[in-house]
């Protein structure tokens, strides 16, 4: 047993019992000079937590400055509300990304759904010019399918994982198809490209991993 603690340099010798047979009081024998039996280790804030807190403070300061300027010069309407809504949208997507950071595929799906909903809400509350359904949702779906495909290849996922991606690709391909059937988009080529990419992705996945996928489906459905 070392004679001194490697952290605080305190004596590690066993305590002597008093005449009453009990150890001395906590304050009578110091470890590190303040009576503790263990050294005091200050809590160090991780660098990424400190960076996030600074970013939060910066966004709060920016929002307050925008509201103050908007209040002083109100001639152009309450544009500061859009700034606050943008900051809230950013922190909402960022919090989901941090919560799901250990599962990249789930994180991609959550971000696609959340950003699509936020884009649709922004489009509705700004007069609905259609940019959310024309461009944002189809481009997000194509990007997510491409990222999932690359991630599956890099990680060399099993057939059970491929089955999950097969369902996800199907859903992402159905969303733009429903928009086209409802005649909602004013620009059709992004949704058409998304549907085509979904069909190609599903076809290649089924042709290349069809046997493994079918075996996995039979196993899960107990066929």
The pLDDT tens digits along the chain (223 residues) read: 566 666 666 666 655 544 445 554 444 444 444 555 555 566 666 777 888 899 999 999 999 999 999 998 877 788 899 999 999 999 999 999 988 888 888 888 889 999 999 999 999 998 889 999 999 999 998 998 888 888 888 887 776 777 777 788 788 888 889 989 988 889 999 999 999 988 888 888 788 777 777 777 777 777 6
Q: What is the pLDDT of residue 2?
A: 63
* Alpha-carbon span 108 to 140, nearest angstrom: 10
Residue carrying the six token digits 């002597």: 16
What do you get for the CA distance between the two ends of the chain, in Å?
Answer: 64
Q: Helix/strand/coil (H, E, C) string of the chain? A: CCCECCCCCCECCCCCCCCCCCCCCCCCCCCCCCCCCCCCCCCCCCHHHHHHHHHHHHHHHHHHHHHHHHHHCHHHCCCHHHHHHHHHHHHHHHHHHHHCCCCHHHHHHHHHHHHHHHHHHHHHHCCCCCHHHHHHHHHHHHHHHHHHHHHHHHHCCCHHHHHHHHHHHHHHHHHHHHHHHCCCCCCCHHHHHHHHHHHHHHHHHHHHHHHHHHHHHHHHHCC
The total number of residues shown for the chain amounts to 223
Task: Give the CA radius of gyration of the chain.
Answer: 29
Q: CA 110, 111, 115, 117: dihedral to nearest 10 degrees?
A: 0
Tell which residue, 144, 121, 145, has the closest CA to residue 132. Answer: 121
Q: What is the CB neighbour count within 10 angstroms for residue 115?
A: 19
Q: CA 187, 191, 197, 199: dihedral to nearest 10 degrees?
A: -130
* Alpha-carbon span 215 to 223, nearest angstrom: 9
Q: What is the pLDDT of residue 31?
A: 46
* Alpha-carbon span 98 to 116, nearest angstrom: 18
């Amino acid at each position: 047993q070392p004679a001194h603690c490697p952290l605080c340099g305190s004596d590690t010798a066993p305590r002597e019992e008093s005449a009453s047979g009990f150890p001395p009081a906590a304050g009578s024998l110091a470890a590190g000079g303040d009576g503790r039996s263990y050294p005091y280790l200050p809590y160090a804030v991780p660098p990424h937590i400190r960076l996030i807190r600074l970013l939060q403070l910066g966004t709060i300061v920016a929002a307050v400055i925008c509201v103050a300027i908007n209040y002083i010069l109100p001639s152009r309407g309450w544009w500061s509300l859009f700034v606050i809504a943008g900051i809230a949208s950013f922190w909402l997507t960022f919090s989901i990304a941090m919560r799901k950071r250990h599962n990249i595929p789930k994180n991609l799906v959550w971000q696609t759904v959340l950003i699509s909903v936020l884009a649709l809400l922004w489009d509705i509350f700004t007069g609905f010019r259609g940019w959310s359904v024309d461009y944002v949702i189809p481009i997000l779906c194509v990007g997510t399918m491409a990222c999932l495909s690359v991630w599956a290849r890099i990680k060399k996922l099993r057939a059970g994982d491929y089955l999950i991606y097969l369902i996800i690709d199907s859903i992402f391909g159905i969303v733009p198809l429903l928009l086209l059937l409802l005649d909602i988009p004013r620009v059709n080529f992004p949704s058409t490209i998304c549907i085509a990419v979904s069909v190609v992705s599903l076809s290649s996945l089924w042709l290349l991993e069809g046997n493994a996928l079918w075996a996995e489906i039979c196993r899960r459905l107990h066929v």
